[in-house]
Amino acid sequence: MLQRKTQTSEYWEQEFEITQDDIEHLYNFALERGEPIPTDELALEVIRYRCRQEEERMQSELSRGTVYQSCEHYEIGEQLVFPVLDYRLGTVVGIRPGHNPEHGEFEVIAVQLEGEEKPREFAASLKAPHKLNQTGDNRAELWEAANLASPEDLYAAHGTRVRELVVEALQQPDSEFVSYDDQWMLYDLLAEVHVGHLNLAEALIEVEGQPLSVERLLEELELPAEIPEPVKIFSLNAALQRDERFDLVHGRDGDLWFLRRLEPPEALSTPKWLEYTPVRYNRAFLSVELLQIEWELDDEWTDEGSSTDSASTLVPSTTLVLTYPHRKAGTLPLSSRTRPFFPPGEHGRGVVTFVDGRWGQRFQGWIVYDGRYICGLREWFEQHKLPVGAYITLERTADPSVITVDFRPRRMRREWTRVADVEDGRLVFRMQKQPVSCEYDEHIIVGEGNPEALEALRVQVAEQDVPVSELLAAIFPELAKLSPQGTVHAKTLYSAINMVRRYAPGPIFAALMSDRSYREMGSGYYALNID
């Protein structure tokens, strides 16, 4: 049996490259289909095409002469094809007897191969079994495709690289293909979507005041009836994608289109308080107790924080604590426990409708997947005067696209809470009474003394790239002085440090445990080591 190149991993993983011939074949393939084609299908078609090319080449080469087999007798002048030499053609120019104690009597033929100066010698009339010998019709035996991996099998094994190369080739500036949502069509086959259609789409979205599906937009655009619906949908999606006025957002029922100018600024760019730069740290320093506290905080940037917590995918509600960065930004974290409540996605933006659990009012929320946050809650925070540390509840409704957002109310009273301020360019804290009308986490709650000074300090810390260990050393004594015991809870350190720089709990806790300046007191509390 011949070894086809397309049956080897080396060919697909090392040798294979997209050629102009492949692109032309895909062009004809797409022209014949006349509808959107998924990337996977185009990549599979390239594999099919390469396999067909190889088989056609084999047929052509094998037809040029007799397939060489060591068991056959050949005459001078006879033309032979050598599959093991990449189908080289050779002419028998000499025959002499040969003898080997193991194989007995046989012949040695001299063959002049194309492109070579000197003849090579090969065994012939060999009676002993040999792996190159076939029985019956040798050409049929060599050609038979038994035990060959199908193009589908080859795609399952090597499709990732083929797919990447296909996408790269079809995205070239001179490409005649257009893509949308991992599907492709030829420009020439698209339905005409002109600026008038796009202006009408803009007006429809503005009148509705909410994201609309492409199907809803097509109802009003009146594209020619003879155009197949999949082509209309693809064409309009592709046109909207190219127009900077429109933004694609994910909803529970699929993709929707909205206007960028109607989206809150927080949906288009990450608020400065949420800007996060990962830092390296040793998680081995985190004790079991600190790991538990880290889990309770459920920070969206905790390692693997973007993965879905399978245990929470079916729960009707979840509760989280409002931290300083999110209170300032008017956002909530897209963390392991909150993510299952929102439309799935990894990139771009999604949209959801919030219902105020107190007053029943509805308002839009925007999920920013890359930034791991949900925005659009600033007004709601302000209306209910929610402080940093407030417990926020998300609850499912009968409509998966509608989420109830609530807090735990209680009669307003003035509470002693930590308040942050800036003195001589450093963060300081004092205890001060402030009105609170909801339940809150006493370790997280903190107020602002001078917001402008705090913002200036935050900018300075970012510009100087102050490490977490220095922030910890500066802030810990300030917090410790507020406690009669001189202790500070790990959650409080997390809350305070995040006022001037966005950090996940892990780096803060690792710095705390790796520095002998602090000692563990139990129950999540720490004190300065005075020894």
User: 2-46, pLDDT tens digit by residue?
Assistant: 567 888 999 999 999 999 999 999 999 999 999 999 999 999 999
What domain range is 226 assigned to? 190-262
Note whether residue 140 is domain-resident.
no
Residue whose entry in the numeric block shows the structure tokens 């035996």: 141
Of 153 and 308, more confident: 153
Indicate the residue among 242, 262, 282 that finishes a domain.
262
Q: Please check whether residues 387 and 303 belong to one and the same domain.
A: yes
Q: How many structural domains is the chain composed of?
A: 5
Confidence of residue 342 (pLDDT cuts 50, 70, 90): very high
Note whether residue 364 is domain-resident.
yes
Confidence of residue 141 (pLDDT cuts 50, 70, 90): very low
Q: Please check whether residues 284 and 238 belong to one and the same domain.
A: no
Computed on alpha carbons and rounded to an integer, the radius of gyration of the chain in Å comes to 35
Indicate the residue among 390, 410, 430 that finishes a domain.
410
CATH number (domain holding residue 347): 2.40.330.10
Q: Please check whether residues 426 and 440 belong to one and the same domain.
A: yes
Helices and strands in the chain: count of H runs, count of E runs: 16, 23
CATH number (domain holding residue 518): 1.10.10
Q: Please check whether residues 379 and 341 belong to one and the same domain.
A: yes
Sign, Cα dihedral of 473, 470, 500, 454 = positive
**3-state helix, strand and coil shares in percent for the chain, rounded to the nearest 5:** 40, 25, 35
Q: Please check whether residues 306 and 381 belong to one and the same domain.
A: yes
pTM summary value: 0.75
Indicate the residue among 393, 410, 427 that finishes a domain.
410
Q: Please check whether residues 440 and 501 belong to one and the same domain.
A: yes
Inter-CA distances, 497 with 92, 167, 270, 423, 462, Å: 85, 44, 19, 16, 12
Task: Output phi, psi for 343, to 5 deg.
Answer: -55, 140
Note whether residue 229 is domain-resident.
yes
The helix/strand/coil state of 426 is strand
Q: Residue 240 above 80 pLDDT?
A: yes
Q: Please check whether residues 225 and 350 belong to one and the same domain.
A: no
Note whether residue 142 is domain-resident.
no
Note whether residue 141 is domain-resident.
no
Cβ(370)–Cβ(363) below 8 Å = no
Note whether residue 397 is domain-resident.
yes
User: 388-429, pLDDT tens digit by residue?
Assistant: 999 999 999 999 889 999 999 999 999 999 999 999 989 999
Q: Please check whether residues 341 and 394 belong to one and the same domain.
A: yes
Q: Please check whether residues 324 and 434 belong to one and the same domain.
A: no
Q: Please check whether residues 276 and 380 belong to one and the same domain.
A: yes
Note whether residue 459 is domain-resident.
yes
Note whether residue 304 is domain-resident.
yes
CATH number (domain holding residue 237): 1.10.10.10
User: 196-234, pLDDT tens digit by residue?
Assistant: 999 999 999 999 988 999 999 999 998 999 999 999 999
Q: Please check whether residues 404 and 418 belong to one and the same domain.
A: no
Q: Please check whether residues 197 and 296 belong to one and the same domain.
A: no
Helix (H) or strand (E) holding 137: none
